[in-house]
Amino acid sequence: MRFCIETYGCTANIGNSMELRGVLIAHGHQERDLDDSDVVILNTCAVTSRTERDMLRRIGELRGRRLIVAGCLPAAIPELIEGLEAVGVLNRDGIDRVLDALGRSENPKPDRPTSCLPGSLCGVVTISEGCLGACSYCIVKRARGALRSREPCEIESEVRSLVSSGAVEIQLASQDAGAYGCDIGTSLPELLDLLSDMDGEFMVRVGMMNPDSVLKILDELLDSYRSERIYKFLHLPLQSGSDRVLERMGRGYTSDDFVNIVNVFRSSFPEISLTTDVITGFPGETDQDFRMTEEVIRITQPDKVNVTRYSRRPHTPAFMMYDMPDRIKKERSRRMTELWKEIALLRNVRHVGHELEVLVTEHGRAGTMKGRTRNYTGVVVHGASYIGKWVRARATDATPFYIKARCTGSL
């Protein structure tokens, strides 16, 4: 059968779709574009009310085609898609349900084809599903459930397959990478050590880790990060700088915990880049609470902040809390966005005039290349003809989002 997969949302969703694609092809199904497909598999996101509306609008646009709705929307809010063909999250059970719907081959190919993200040499490997948390606002836990880690040997095999097919960057996807292995007697540092010892030329990007999970493995994690194969990149959500709000969120750590983790990583890896997440306008957040969040951002100087306005999600404890006016959420979101962009620009500008080592992973616009430094800073490289290789590039300009550079040669 001819299929098309549309994917929305997080890196974990992307990884799930890539795995489904490989399984379907192994069973003899053919990937096509939208207009030439027999069935469309829509891998949805439901993290906010806005994404929910986007998903419902897209479902409406696809009516008249055979449509299988997958991902967090049918798993978390099934009542919204009653009467439609749905399979939920595309974990192993979800993939089996898609195969049941589309048909299995009696003799599937023994080795599933693996591929990189479209247009790049970056592969996504899902290391676990679900999490150990109980955040009061989070609908993803309802969709993905408790932590279920994959065996290290299975992850190693998938990474090996991706690298042999040309991947030079491996992104480890999960809802909380720091919790990996707690349910199967291993840990994230052990997995990183395993991947670091593999043959091949590739880099590993560790996905988002919640502070409470990192605290339990901090010393071992620092040791694992010393590997040259691991990008010096830390995605550590703050969500709020107010301990009172963090407690209402059910986050399980304090703002001091967050700051201390950042400081410890920067002591070992001064050039490490930091991405964090902030929710503005959580129920009960006062002006003082928000100013405390701004202060933590100023102290820790992140390279990027994913700012989300609080969105009431059904079936969550926070749904019953008082939801403040949108105008307050928007204003705080605007302030936070302006703050982190100012910080990010200053952090990128400091590289201008210096030579950088950049791993080129994809083609850019107008003859440029895109790549990452060893601390995962994005670089647009002019004058490079190499892809999948490390190059030297002199930084010529900077924006809050990336550095502009000119290639000076290969490494």
Is the same domain home to 405 and 279?
no
Please check whether residues 177 and 306 belong to one and the same domain: yes
Whether residue 212 is contained in a domain is answered as: yes
Verify that 227 and 373 share a domain, yes or no.
no
Is residue 113 a part of any domain in this protein?
no
d(CA 155, CA 190): 12
Q: What pLDDT is attached to residue 143?
A: 93
* pLDDT for the residue numbered 109: 81
In a domain, 329, yes or no: yes
Inside any domain, residue 114: no
Q: Is the pLDDT of residue 55 over 90?
A: yes
Residues 24 and 152 in one domain: no
Q: Is residue 166 part of a domain?
A: yes
pLDDT of residue 236 exceeding 60? yes
φ/ψ region of 83 (left if φ > 0, alpha if ψ in -120 to 50, else beta) reads left
Q: Are residues 138 and 191 in the same domain?
A: yes
- Residue 174 in this model has a pLDDT that exceeds 80: yes
Is the predicted pLDDT of residue 113 greater than 70, yes or no? no
Q: What is the pLDDT of residue 119?
A: 87
344-400 pLDDT, tens digit per residue, is 999 999 999 999 999 999 999 999 999 999 999 999 999 988 899 999 999 999 999
Task: Give the amino acid at 229.
Answer: R
E strand or H helix at 42 = strand 39-44
- By three-state DSSP, how is residue 145 classified? coil
Looking at 226-375, list the stretches that DSSP marks H as alpha helix, in order from N- to C-terminal side: 243-249, 255-268, 287-300, 326-349
Residues 359 and 299 in one domain: no
Nearest to 98 by CA among 115, 83, 86: 86
> How many domains are there within the chain?
3
Are 282 and 310 in contact, with CB atoms under 8 Å apart?
yes
Nearest CA-CA partner of 247 in 282, 272, 213:
282
Domain boundary among 331, 349, 367: 349
161 lies in the same domain as 40:
no
> Are 179 and 325 in the same domain?
yes
Q: What is the pLDDT of residues 10-47, one digit of tens each?
A: 999 999 999 999 999 999 999 999 999 999 999 999 99
Are 359 and 345 in the same domain? no
Q: What percent of the chain has pLDDT over 90?
A: 94
Segment 229-237 shows an average pLDDT of 98
User: 387 and 201 in contact (C-beta within 8 Å)?
Assistant: no
Residue 110: is its pLDDT beyond 80? no
Considering the domain architecture, whether residues 213 and 69 belong to the same structural domain is answered as no
Q: Is the pLDDT of residue 92 over 90?
A: no
Residue 245 to residue 284: CA distance in whole angstroms: 7
CATH code of the domain in which 391 resides: 2.40.50.140
Q: What is the pTM of this model?
A: 0.95
Q: What is the mean pLDDT of residues 189-217?
A: 98
Contact present, 173 and 14 (Cβ < 8 Å): yes
What pLDDT score does 300 carry?
98
Position 295 scores a pLDDT of 98
Residue 40 CA to residue 66 CA, distance in Å, equals 6
Last residue of a domain, one of 349, 367, 383: 349
Q: Of 102, 135, 150, which one is at a domain's C-terminal end?
A: 102
- Tens digit of pLDDT for each residue in 308-345? 999 999 999 999 999 999 999 999 999 999 999 999 99
Would residue 363 count as lying in a domain?
A: yes
Question: The tokens of 86 are what?
Answer: 């749905």
For 198-250, the DSSP string reads: SSSS-EEE-----HHHHHHHHHHHHHHHTSTTB-SEEE---B-S-HHHHHHHT
Domain extent for 63: 2-102
On average, the pLDDT of the chain sits at 96
pLDDT tens digit string along 237-272? 999 999 999 999 999 999 999 999 999 999 999 999
Structural domain contains residue 58:
yes
In the three-class reduction of DSSP (H, G, I as helix; E, B as strand; rest coil), residue 67 is classed as strand
CB atoms within 10 A of CB 396: 14
Give residue-wise pLDDT tens across range 385-408. 889 999 999 999 999 999 999 999
Q: Same domain for 35 and 58?
A: yes
Whether the per-residue pLDDT at 191 is higher than 80: the answer is yes
pLDDT at site 111: 59
pLDDT for 118 equals: 85
Average pLDDT of span 145-163: 96
Q: pLDDT at position 112, please?
A: 59
188 and 321 within one domain? yes
Q: Does any domain span residue 111?
A: no
**pLDDT tier at 106 (50, 70, 90 boundaries)?**
confident
